[in-house]
Structure 1
Amino acid sequence: MFNMVKIGRNIARLRKEKGMTQMELADRMGISYQAVSNWERGETMPDISKLPELADIFEVSIDQILDNQKGADIVQNIAQNKTTEFLRENEVSVEDFSAVMPLLKTEQADEVFSHMKHKFKLHDLSVIAPFVSTEFIDECARKAAASEGIGAIKELAPFMSDEAIDEFAKKALETEGIEALKFIAPFMTDEAVDECAKKAFENEGIGALTSIAPFMSEEAMDEIAEKAFENEGIGALTPLAPFMRDKTMDECAKKAFETHGIRVLLPVAPFISDEVLEACARQAFEKEGMGALKPIAPFLEEGVIEKWIRAGLEFSS
């Protein structure tokens, strides 16, 4: 990579040798003096389009500004629109290309990459992904997913288009199952996550959704949870309980308690609101006595049972 601090020092030295102030250099280049100041402090680098102009003002080569022969050659030829010719006549490595990437505009990076993409291995692509176009990344991701599965594109996912991500996710669901989506679920659209979740629920059951549950919409979560509850009871909600809305969990808990009693709530007790859990426990205590509360007691607020016991003793007397 280019050493920005060293380049900044070169710019400062060359400017001083020309007897120019930062403001004078900035005015001549049509930029702010803060930009020149940032260059010289090594905080930023000149845009590639500014390098030929900077070299002309200082009457030096781009090599002397960048202090990096190989990288400077690449940059200079790109700046002079000689990219194709230079790449045809010179051997440029992945490392060389990666080093100059931060200086290039997206269209320039695409041009270089189009000549060199046969050299890049999958793990190299994550380095250059922030600099080339989404179209190129999508193209590379398609090839990787086709040969190695969707897990191969997890490092490229942040730079891919929504359309490509959703496309790959739906294909992977069919061929690899919902678990394969856990690497790219954060980058999928909400609609695609919900669609895949509903299909996986139909085919594999609610337990298969754990890996993508954090990325599902509340509406889809409620819909699936309510179906699972109707078909299998409240115990089926355990895998999704941490991600469900309190209101939905409470409604299911109240229905389950009315039908099956307090013990059925044990698997999801940590996710039921204190208010609803206490109300169910109170009814169980009044109907069945203290023994009914033993399974659920650890999840009740401290002091609640003691309060009921005292109330019961006073009533008995």
Structure 2
Amino acid sequence: MFDIKKIGRQLAHLRKGNEITQLQLADKLGVSAQAISNWERGETMPDISKLPELSQIFDVSIDEILGYEKGTKLLKNIIDDRDISLEQNEVSVEEFINIAPLIQFDKADTFFYKLKDELTLNDIASLTPFLSECVIDEYAKEEFERNGIETLAPLAPYISKEVIDECVLREFERNGIKTLAPLVPYISKEVTDECALKEFERNGIEALAPLAPFISKEVIDECALKEFERNGIEVLAPLAPFISKESLIEFTKKSYNENGIASIISICPFIDKSLINELALDAISKKGISEILPIMPFVNQNSINNLVKRQNN
């Protein structure tokens, strides 16, 4: 694409050479002084409609403003609204990529369709901010059919939620949850939860780990409760950071009451310290200090020492 840093420096050079302030240039163009500052710092580029005005103000060609880069001639033709032939041998991929940030979606879409077979996935990923959503969605569906869901990751921020969800559901039915990780941040909460519930029933709670940060608390808790009732608290450790505090307390107390203090070792790093201390004190009062040795690293030593002293007295 155009070197916007280089163009920014050129704009600053031309403005100063004409002894025009940023505010004066902004007034002439009908934009904010901040916009001029952003152009000159190379953070953004002028809109295509401003290039002829800049050319006239500075009395230079558009080529000179843009540094005679690939695509400048094509861009000038678009500005002049000339009848442009879109045959592939007349418009190169490099030219298209250069001008894409400056042209309207409809023109960018037209160039895309003409050059699509020549564009790499990296090319298309760089172009997605400048293409219409319907074009990106259509391409995403085709790419999914050809190469699977992983290749959609670079395009994901610009693919519609509906198409992302459609591809994800199909991929899940084919290969399960493990291949969805690259797209997880872009999947709707409803589809994420749907896949999580199905995956849990197929492969247990450990299989949810790749999606855990994106699964709703309600679904995590629902699966955790079922897993706890089937296999006890020990198997919840991989998902413990995502289980609600209330559910963890409930599971911990029930496990302690049914299976003793040793049963909660795997979950101790995720339990509130006050609850561990409470259970430890109860275990000592019933069975003595040796009962809490397995969880001693997680216990408040001062409270234990005070209890032991009272028992000894």
TM-score, normalized by the shorter chain, greater than 0.5: yes
**2: CA distance between counterparts of 1:255 and 1:24?**
73
* Cα separation, partners in 2 of 1:82 and 1:217, compared to 1, 3 Å: farther
- Structure 1 residues 205 and 6 mapped into 2: Cα distance closer, same or farther (>3 Å)? closer
Corresponding position of 1:239: 238
8 Å CA contact 2:70–2:98 kept in 1: the answer is no
Q: In structure 1, how many angstroms separate the alpha carbons of the residues matched to 2:23 and 2:257?
A: 79
Cα contact 2:2–2:69 (8 A) shared by 1: no
What residue in structure 1 maps to residue 103 of structure 2? 104
Partners of 1:2 and 1:100 within 8 A in 2:
yes
Percent of pairs identical after alignment? 43
Equivalents in 2 of 1:141, 1:203: separation in Å? Answer: 29
Matching residue of 1:68: 68
What is residue 171 of structure 2 aligned with on the other side?
A: 172
Structure 2 distance, partners of 1:291, 1:12, is 77
For residues 300 and 284 of structure 1, the distance between their equivalents in structure 2, rounded to whole angstroms, comes to 12
Query: Alignment length, in residue pairs?
Result: 313
Equivalent residue number for residue 118 of structure 1: 117
1:168–1:302 distance in 2 versus 1, CA, 3 Å: farther
Distance 1:172 1:310, change over 3 A: same
Q: CA deviation at 1:253?
A: 0.6
Q: Answer whether contact 1:2 1:68 (CA < 8 A) is retained.
A: no
Alignment of 1:8-157 (within 5 A): 8=8, 10-11=10-11, 26-32=26-32, 35-36=35-36, 38-40=38-40, 42-56=42-56, 60-82=60-82, 85-88=84-87, 90-157=89-156
Per the alignment, residue 159 of structure 1 pairs with 158
Deviation, structure 1 residue 86? 3.6
Distance 1:41 1:72 in 2: 21
Contact 2:55–2:62 under 8 Å retained in 1: yes
SS at match of 1:88: coil
CA distance in 2, matches of 1:96, 1:292: 75
Q: Which runs of 5+ in 2 are unaligned?
A: none
Query: For 1:300 and 1:160, how far apart are their aligned partners in 2?
Result: 50
Please identify, of 35-44 and 201-210, the stretch whose mean Cα deviation from structure 2 is larger.
35-44
Counterpart Cα distance in 2 of 1:127 and 1:266: 49
Instruction: Write the distance in 1 (CA, Å) between the matches of 2:274 and 2:25.
Output: 70
Match for residue 267 of structure 1? 266
Pair 1:290-2:313 in alignment: no
For the pair 1:200 / 2:199, whether they are aligned, the reply is yes
Aligned-residue Cα RMSD (Å) equals: 2.6
1:72 partner amino acid: T
Q: Provide the rounded CA distance (Å) in 2 between the counterparts of 1:108 and 1:308.
A: 78
Q: Does 1:209 align with 2:208?
A: yes
Offset from partner CA, 1:245-282 (integer Å, 9 cap, x none): 22110111111111111111111111121122222222
The alpha-carbon distance between structure 1 residues 91 and 302, as it changes in their structure 2 partners (threshold 3 A), is farther
Q: Distance between the aligned counterparts of 2:108 and 2:178, measured in 1?
A: 35
Question: Which secondary structure does the structure 2 equivalent of 1:46 belong to?
Answer: coil
CA distance in 1, matches of 2:252, 2:33: 66
How far off its partner does 1:184 sit? 0.9
Aligned equivalents of 1:55, 1:90: Cα separation in 2: 29
What TM-score do the two structures reach when normalised by structure 1? 0.87
1:98-132 Cα offsets, whole Å, 9 max, x none, are: 22222233333223212222211223222112221
Give the distance between the partners of 2:304 and 2:16, measured in 1 at CA.
82
TM-score after normalising by structure 2: 0.89
- What's the counterpart of residue 189 of structure 1? 188
Residue 188 of structure 2 aligns with an amino acid whose one-letter code is T
Instruction: Work out whether residues 52 and 76 of structure 1, in 8 Å CA contact, stay in contact via their aligned partners in 2.
Output: no
1:148 Cα deviation from its structure 2 partner: 1.8
Structure 1: gaps spanning 5 or more residues: none
Range moving further from structure 2, 128-137 or 203-212 = 128-137
Structure 1 residues 252 and 17, CA gap change in structure 2 (3 angstroms): closer
Q: Is the 8 A contact 1:182 1:212 kept in 2?
A: yes
* Other structure's SS at 1:179 match: helix
Relative distance call for 1:82 and 1:200 in structure 2 (3 A) is: farther
